Amino acid sequence: MLGPVAIIIVLFVVGFALIATEVCVPGMILGTLGFLCLAASVAVVFSHYGVATGVIAASVTAVLALGGFMLWLWIFPKTFIGRKIILSQSQPSAHAAKENHSLVGSVGIALTMLRPAGTARIGGRRVDVTTAGEFVEEGVELMVIAADGLRVVVRQKDRLEAEEQSV
């Protein structure tokens, strides 16, 4: 059977490992379990070694957690995954809004199912679009009916033409 020191060390190491794994497996389950392991390790210190040692253990755990988080913030953007997730250049929203406004009346193809938002290829580029509320299947021809800032609204081209003919 493990002694209290071994239990404390195992809970501490497993807790930090689970929190570190949370980066790769999102969902807060592993992070929550890791936090609970860290709290349990501190609780074992309190129960076996008293309040003074428990406070020291809690302080050391907090400092190591904060230091680990700061180290992660410094290292993660330099990793392969970090470079893929984090934007490297910003684009002025006024420029994007101006480009989107020029798309009104353009025709494109739905690259994903629009429920009601998704992605379409319009004018040779991928654009995040939203429908007026209806769902649109992938591969359907679309027409841009409005652009308000960064929001691009589309409708199915055949439905738009049918509405125009009925009027």
Query: Tens of pLDDT along 84-132?
Result: 888 777 766 665 667 788 899 999 999 999 999 999 999 889 999 999 8
Query: Tens of pLDDT along 151-160?
Result: 999 999 887 6
Residue 97 pLDDT: 66
Residue ranges per domain, the chain?
Answer: 4-85, 93-166
pLDDT at 58 over 90: yes
d(CA 65, CA 59): 10
d(CA 11, CA 37): 5
φ/ψ of residue 144, rounded to 5:
-75, 120
d(CA 34, CA 31): 5
pLDDT at 162 over 70: no
- Please determine, looking at this structure, whether the domain spanning 93-166 carries the CATH number 3.40.800.10: no
